[in-house]
Amino acid sequence: MADTKREENQRDRVSREGSDVSDARLIEAAQNGDSRSFGLLIRRHQKRLFRFIYGLTGSFDQAEDIVQEAFVKAYGAIKTFRTQYDFYPWLSTIARNHAYNVIRREEKSESLDKLTEAGFVETSPELGPLEALIAREGDRRFWQALNALPVKYRTVFVLRHLEDMDYSAIASYLKIPPGTVDSRLHRARKMLLERLKDLLSAD
């Protein structure tokens, strides 16, 4: 009885503290059955996760569905999560894998592995003009061009320029060599510059 009361008090304290509570404490509470704590985790990470998935799919409706499904799957697996690790990479991996499944269903004729990887490219082109396009919230042409990229190039571009991850973090997240990250990013930039060259030269 005392243990139950103590657990209830912990849940109430976590819910009251809200944004001041670490992810680890919220996860621990959620693992003990506190759905309110998981709700706080959702509110904390949903905007960032939506931006990431929207970058992969280019579809508002698909991104909404995928993010919602990711949270459902994460809640179902929350007891398996180890709190010594960061929550967002785990969550975004669930969402990314679901997004890949959606993309694969839509691009049945395209093999994700058909292009051979180039070696490490030491110097990548400056991305100033593209960064300016990214900064224009909701620029339709940019999102259309990004969504037209093969998913493996789109993914590294989104992780680097929308998630602001460095090369080593992307390599670890995708489980690919840093040189592959660089070559894919170089290719993604080149394809985007080609698709948007009229827009980039408009000024």
Rounded average pLDDT over 41-47: 92
SS3 72: helix
**CATH fold for the domain made of 9-106:** Rna Polymerase Sigma Factor; Chain: A (1.10.1740)
Give dist(CA 100, CA 47) in Å, integer: 19
Q: Which of the four pLDDT bands, split at 50, 70 and 90, describes residue 112?
A: very low
Angle 152-161-84 from CA coordinates, rounded to 5°: 85
Question: Other C-beta atoms within 10 Å of 141: how many?
Answer: 13
pLDDT in tens, 91-107: 999 999 999 888 877 76
Give the start-to-end residue ranges of the domains of the chain: 9-106, 128-200
Rounded average pLDDT over 24-53: 91
Task: State residue 64 phi and psi, 5-degree precision.
Answer: -60, -50
- Least Cα distance to 142 among 100, 89, 190, 195 occurs for 195
Give dist(CA 90, CA 70) in Å, integer: 10
Class of domain 128-200: mainly alpha
Q: Which of the four pLDDT bands, split at 50, 70 and 90, describes residue 183?
A: very high
pLDDT in tens, 121-166: 333 434 455 555 555 544 677 888 888 899 999 999 999 888 889 9
Task: Read off the pTM.
Answer: 0.64
- Stated as kind and residue range, the H or E segment containing 49 is helix 35-57
